[in-house]
Structure 1
Amino acid sequence: MCVREEYRPADGEAAALLDEEDSADHYTRFGVAVTTRLPGVGTLCPFVGENGAIATQSLVNVRLGRKGIAYLDDGLAIDAALEALLDADDGRAQRQLHGVDRDGTFAFSGEECNDWYGHHVGENYTVAGNLLTGESVVEAVAEAYEATANDDERPLAERLVDALAAGHAEGGDRREDLPIQSAALRVVSDEPRDYSPYYDDLRVDASETPVADLKETYELARQGYEDVLDKYDDGEEDDPDAE
Structure 2
Amino acid sequence: MTFSICVREEYEDDDGDEQTRFGVAVTTRLAGVGTLCPFISENGAVATQSLVNVELGEKGIEYIDDGLAVEDALQSLLNADDGAENCQLHGVDSEGSFVFSGEECKPWYGHHDGGSFTVAGNLLTGEEVIDAVVDSYEKSAPPRGADSRAETEGNRETGDRDEPLAKRLVDALEAGHEEGGDKREELPVQSAALLVESTEEFALDPAYNDLRIDATETPIEDLRETYETAVQGHEDAMDLYEDAYDEDDMAGAAED
Please give the TM-score of this superposition, normalised by the length of structure 2. 0.86
The 4+ residue runs of structure 1 with deviation greater than 3 A are 234-238
Q: Is the Cα–Cα contact under 8 Å of residues 52 and 87 in structure 2 kept in the other structure? A: yes
Unaligned runs of 5+ in 2: 143-159
| Equivalence for 2:150 | none
1:61-107 deviation line (CA, Å, top 9, x unaligned):
00000000010011100000000000000000000000000000000
| TM-fit CA distance, 1:239 | 2.5
Please point out which of 8, 12, 15 is paired with 2:12: 8
RMSD: 1.8
Task: State the match for 2:147 in structure 1.
Answer: none
Q: Given residue 250 of structure 2, which amino acid in structure 1 is its aligned partner?
A: D
Q: Secondary structure at the match of 1:147?
A: helix
1:144 aligns with 2:136: yes
Which residue is equivalent to 2:145? none
Q: Deviations over 1:26-57 (max 9, x none)?
A: 10000000000000000000000011000001
Q: Distance in 2 between matches of 1:118 and 1:217?
A: 29
Equivalent residue, structure 1, for 2:194: 185
Q: Equivalent residue for 2:180? A: 171
* Deviation of the 1:24 alpha carbon: 5.5
Which of 213, 228, 250 is 1:239 aligned to?
Answer: 250
Pair 1:173–1:235, CA change in 2 (3 A): same
Match of 1:15 in 2: none
> Partner letter of residue 118 of structure 2?
T
Counterpart position of 2:146: none
Partner of 1:49: 41
Work out whether 1:98 is the aligned partner of 2:90. yes
Counterpart of 1:131 in structure 2 is 123
Measured in 1, the distance between the counterparts of 2:206 and 2:79 equals 37
Shift of 1:235: 5.1
2:140 aligned counterpart, secondary structure: coil
Report the equivalent of 2:107.
115
Partners of 1:232 and 1:238 within 8 A in 2: no
What is aligned with 1:219?
228
Aligned counterpart, 2:170:
161
Match for 2:219 among 210, 232, 236?
Answer: 210
Aligned to 1:32: 24
Q: Deviations over 1:157-198 (max 9, x none)?
A: 000000000000000000000000000000000101110000
Shift of 1:132: 0.1
